[in-house]
Amino acid sequence: MAQSPPSAPVVIHHTPEPAPTTLPPRHSTHGIVVASYVLMAAALLLVMWRGLLPGLLCVCLGFLLTRALTRWFAQGLSGLQRRGHPSVSGLRVAQIAAAGLVMLLPLALLAVGLTHSRGYLVTAPQQYQELMNYMARTVLELRLKLPVDMASHLPEGAAEIQRIIASYLGAKAGALAMAGRAWLAGVLFAYVGLLIGALAAVRPAVLARGPLAQQLRLRISLFGEAFRQIVAAQFWIAAFNTLLTALFLLFVLPLWGLELPYTPVLITFTFVAGLVPIVGNLICNVVITIVGLSVSPLAAAACLGFLILIHKAEYVINAKVVGRRTQMGVWELLSVMFVAEAVFGPAGLVAAPLFYAYLKKELVAARLV
């Protein structure tokens, strides 16, 4: 009987099991989100504590301006290419041009301002002497009109006025030096912030990001969206204030027989300065009141009363316009503005609409409100 050939050995191939993928537990993802919130809140508090609000606002402004100019320049370059001009890397060129314009424009404006102010600096001593003589004449007229007991407390002439001013400036020299340093530091922070915003707007795109970086990017995106809405609302606020100021300067004051010089310049300045929340309106008030004082005390009083009314109405106007664009109630924003001004001063009044708009967006994104 024939034997069957031996069967080939059976080889069993063991397919290796895939390594279990270790997914991060739920609490770690939640921890990353919480860490991003804590870092964002700490950064905003640091900005308010160290007086870096001008820098933060200019970071956002430089970013938005650079992105807007980049789109505008890119559209122009694409139009040139469609007409048969040689092709260039349009987007990169547009980014470089936009960032360069945003970074160099403040320096150019400063150079032009210093060039045109040279004449004012040369004639400053003469203007100072004229101001002293004008003040001396005003004081002498008051001495003649006031009772003797009250008139004795007024200076007798320009020399005594100069002595009083010098004594006051000497007593306040430390405070004035601190204010000057704070102002220069604010300008420096603002320009550095503008540079940072412009450079951030043209940075190369990064595809791979860690989980914390992704969450921080989301936080910053929501903050930038809130800033864009606040800027758009502030544009309409500045336009409304400018309209009221123009009506007052062009129609109300002439009805009383009072006309201010440089009215077109004052109206333009009101709009430009009004783009800065709250503080810009205060600067306009000071400038217009001083110009009114050069006409007559009655004109100065009328300007001051009107502008105080506008300043108080600024709370309601700001809350109404900003609240409509950011889905916030007027009472919410007014409450936040009053509390922020009490805690942080004028800087809190400027930051309150922006910070609260950002907080509201975070709450809406988290479906908490």
197-214: pLDDT as tens digits: 999 888 877 666 788 888
Q: Comparing C-alpha atoms, which of 363, 362, 341 is closest to residue 352?
A: 341
For the chain, what is the mean pLDDT?
A: 75
Under a CB-based contact definition with an 8 Å cutoff, are residues 237 and 317 in contact?
yes
Q: How many residues does the chain have?
A: 369
Q: How far, in Å, CA of 33 to CA of 37, rounded?
A: 6
Average pLDDT for 232-256 = 81
Q: Where are the beta strands (DSSP E) in 95-180?
A: none
pLDDT of residue 63: 92
pLDDT of residue 243: 86
Tokens of 313: 């109405």
Q: Between 243 and 10, where is the model more confident?
A: 243
Is the predicted pLDDT of residue 359 greater than 80, yes or no?
yes
**Percentage of the chain exceeding pLDDT 70:** 63
Is the predicted pLDDT of residue 59 greater than 80, yes or no?
yes
18-22, 174-178, 295-299, 304-308: lowest mean pLDDT where?
18-22
pLDDT of residue 26: 47
pTM of the full structure: 0.65
Tens digits of residue pLDDT in 311-324: 667 666 666 666 66
pLDDT of residue 44: 93
Confidence of residue 369 (pLDDT cuts 50, 70, 90): confident
Average pLDDT for 325-350 = 79
Q: Comparing C-alpha atoms, which of 153, 127, 157, 159 is closest to residue 294?
A: 127
Tokens of 59: 């970071």
Secondary element (H or E) of residue 84? none
Tens digits of residue pLDDT in 107-136: 888 787 667 656 655 665 666 666 566 666
Is the predicted pLDDT of residue 4 greater than 80, yes or no?
no
Q: How far, in Å, CA of 106 to CA of 343, rounded?
A: 32
Average pLDDT for 65-84 = 77
pLDDT of residue 83: 55
Q: Between 289 and 64, where is the model more confident?
A: 64
Instruction: State the Cα torsion 356-324-279-242 to the nearest 10°.
Output: 170
Residue position matching structure tokens 């108080």: 312
pLDDT of residue 105: 87
pLDDT of residue 1: 47
Q: Between 61 and 289, where is the model more confident?
A: 61
Q: What are phi and psi of 283, to 5 degrees?
A: -65, -40
Confidence of residue 188 (pLDDT cuts 50, 70, 90): confident
Q: Between 222 and 29, where is the model more confident?
A: 222
pLDDT of residue 346: 76
Tens digits of residue pLDDT in 275-290: 766 667 777 777 787 7
Average pLDDT for 259-281 = 75
Average pLDDT for 29-57 = 90
Is the predicted pLDDT of residue 237 greater than 50, yes or no?
yes
